[in-house]
Structure 1
Amino acid sequence: MSERAWHSSGAYLLNRLPGRGGLEVTADYLRAYFARPELAPIEESCEAEQVAHARLVDNPYLELSEQELAEFEDADAGQNYKVFLAFRDLLVASKTLEKAYLAIVRGEAGNVPPLFVEQIVHAILASILHGQTDPMRWRAAEVFFRSQNVSAEEGQLMLADEEVVDMFAETGGMGGLGQLVVEAATPLREVELDVLDEDNKQMYWARAERFDTVVDFRFTQPASDAFARVIEHWINHFTGVSVRVQPVQRIDDEKWTWHIGMDATATQLMNKLYEGADLSLEEEVSIIGLFRMDILDQQSVIERARGKPVWLGLAKSAAGKLNMKPQNLLINMPLQRGS
């Protein structure tokens, strides 16, 4: 059930500090990275790489010099270590994943690979959702850290994990065997991903690590509402501010004051709407979700936006992808400094 969901996030390796203290980075959490394919040595790895790996597994806080990394025969392996160790140093200095994430999204942490950022979000959301028994919220939360393929089918608005869709397209969902069949031009039986709904959503728990369920994200559908609830928890977790978020079909607000695009395309389109410009039909259909957010603690809100809703938007790119930027919900909130 929910207690075992998203084991791959590594959240169970972190210390959950009291209150809003966040997720404290631990040696075990750092150590887990050295089991990843990018860092784990292979049979052909040189002695210098194998020794460095063993030392870091023993002490994940160990400092490796440029000279030690230069001794790796595989330059790519040395670069992987260099990139990860810089990330490791950020986590250690920040003490919690939340502080590290905020440093990254505020531009205070240098260039951090997107994969590491997604892994931080994955772990934080696993902690936020700990004890949550509605599978739809967990599936909706995947949008925060995994790119989605967006398709309109028979009046539905379907979100499917982009990586999983690509895998099915290449192999029919049968891994290496499927790849051989595809390359041989042998017909595959049609493979469809399961659409999660209120009747079958309990299946999610057995497949949570596979990210292979699809949701209908239309207005009034459970996934859209679940996504709104995750937004509420995400904002409260970082800011301590309570908000209420509801899906809407359109924005009718003559006093439109504040909006947040939750991805690059939505930001562009909502800016146009705010400025009074008309959207083309193509732009209109690219919007896949609109939400009204009311900030319940109005004392935390800047004067200009006080008493007014914040409009949120999600949109697909021209390629039909949704790449959410959850940091926008934190850095673009109309909150007073210190909130």
Structure 2
Amino acid sequence: DRLLAAGTVENCYLSLFKADFSRIPPLFINQLTQIILRNILDKTLYPLWARCGEMLFRDQKISVQDSAVMAADANIVELHLSNQAPANLEVVKGTSTAGQKTIELDVLSDANAEIYWDRSDNFDTVLDLRVWSQANEALCRVMEKWVHHFYRSPVQIQPLEQISDDKWVWHIGLDAEATSLLNDMYNGVDVAAERSQRLISLFRMEFRDKSLMRPYIAGRPIYLGLAMTADNILRIKPQNLLINLPLAENG
């Protein structure tokens, strides 16, 4: 009924967040997100964009290895480690020297990206989200398309190593953890080292048309953040990138 009343999937999606949406099953929100992203990325030739799109509707398990920040599908990781993985999933399982179960999945990059198309329904490829990685750049392009699709507002999003801005005026956490962390950082609250290490990605977003922004923010960058939970789960809420934008009243 809600979908029929809204007229389009996009209108239905946005309407969910204009009231209390706590009773709406997350699965329904994720399914709408997947449908919309399929439309946005339908003709893309870039496998990394498609794989990054999955992050907007499927939880990711994060593993930090040296300077790499590896993101694997959380459900698939859990399935592999439970010894119930279907035989058609390409994975090598083993046991680490510490006695923990480990799995090996293919890390997607430009060099091997074409393997994604034959395995996209398996959700069994990994992204390296280190700041200047190919996957992080691809995620920026997907987020740009996400905003433009809803608001027809061209934006530019770039990876960022840290926020060094005395005139920091606006930020958006792309998940609950990042929202809390960025709020504390903005307000000058001391953040424990263990908690700050959960912040895995930062981005800088700018509107190409400054008139679309609220006057007191126009021309200033918007900072975005991704953070994992204490159990290394990244749970992106792409609606945050829509409903928390500082758009002008006629934007």
Q: TM-score, normalised by structure 1?
A: 0.68
Q: Distance in 2 between matches of 1:132 and 1:291?
A: 23
Q: 1:190 to 1:230 in 2, by over 3 A?
A: closer
Which residue identity does 1:142 align to in structure 2?
E
How far does the alpha carbon of each residue in 1:78-125 deviate from its partner, in whole angstroms, 9 at most, with x for none? xxxxxxxxxxx1111112100110111222778321111101100100
Residue 256 of structure 1, aligned match among 168, 174, 183: 168
Give SS of 1:325's match.
coil
Q: Does 1:163 align with 2:81?
A: no
| 1:276 alignment partner in structure 2 | 188
Q: Distance in 2 between matches of 1:239 and 1:250?
A: 28
Q: Does 1:112 align with 2:24?
A: yes
Q: 1:238 to 1:160 in 2, by over 3 A?
A: same
Q: Contact conserved, 1:204 with 1:213, CA < 8 A, in 2?
A: yes
| 2:36 alignment partner in structure 1 | 124
How far does the alpha carbon of each residue in 1:259-306 deviate from its partner, in whole angstroms, 9 at most, with x for none? 000000000000011112232211221011000000111111101211
Answer with 197-206 or 274-283: which moved more: 274-283
Shift in Å, 1:209: 1.2
Q: 1:106 to 1:220 in 2, by over 3 A?
A: same
Q: Distance in 1 between matches of 2:151 and 2:211?
A: 13
Look at both structures and tell me which one has the larger radius of gyration over its CA atoms: 1
Which residue identity does 1:243 align to in structure 2?
V
Give SS of 2:127's match.
strand
Q: Does 1:91 align with 2:3?
A: yes
Residue 317 of structure 1, aligned match among 215, 225, 229: 229
Give SS of 2:121's match.
coil
How far does the alpha carbon of each residue in 1:193-214 deviate from its partner, in whole angstroms, 9 at most, with x for none? 1111221111000011111100
The aligned runs of 1:76-87 (5 Å cut-off) are none
Q: 1:276 to 1:202 in 2, by over 3 A?
A: same
Which residue identity does 2:199 align to in structure 1?
I
Which residue identity does 1:165 align to in structure 2?
V
Shift in Å, 1:171: 1.6
Query: Which has the larger share of helix?
Result: 1
Q: Distance in 2 between matches of 1:117 and 1:254?
A: 36
| 2:98 alignment partner in structure 1 | none
Q: Does 1:246 align with 2:161?
A: no
Unpaired stretches in structure 1, ≥5 consecutive residues = 1-88, 176-188
Residue 150 of structure 1, aligned match among 54, 57, 62: 62
Q: Distance in 2 between matches of 1:231 and 1:190?
A: 31
Q: Does 1:332 align with 2:205?
A: no
Q: Contact conserved, 1:294 with 1:310, CA < 8 A, in 2?
A: yes
Q: Contact conserved, 1:101 with 1:120, CA < 8 A, in 2?
A: yes
Q: Distance in 2 between matches of 1:110 and 1:262?
A: 17
- Percent identity for Structure 1 against Structure 2: 40
Q: 1:273 to 1:191 in 2, by over 3 A?
A: closer
Q: Distance in 2 between matches of 1:328 and 1:317?
A: 17
- Matched positions, count: 238
Q: Does 1:288 align with 2:200?
A: yes
Q: Distance in 2 between matches of 1:334 and 1:268?
A: 18
Q: Distance in 2 between matches of 1:190 and 1:335?
A: 45
Q: 1:124 to 1:190 in 2, by over 3 A?
A: same
Which residue identity does 1:315 align to in structure 2?
A
The aligned runs of 1:46-57 (5 Å cut-off) are none
| 2:97 alignment partner in structure 1 | none
Q: Distance in 2 between matches of 1:191 and 1:114?
A: 28
Answer with 102-111 or 300-309: which moved more: 102-111
How far does the alpha carbon of each residue in 1:111-143 deviate from its partner, in whole angstroms, 9 at most, with x for none? 321111101100100110121111011111111
Unpaired stretches in structure 2, ≥5 consecutive residues = 88-100
Greater relative contact order, per chain length (Cα 8 Å cut-off, separation 6+): 2
RMSD: 1.6
Q: Distance in 2 between matches of 1:105 and 1:138?
A: 25
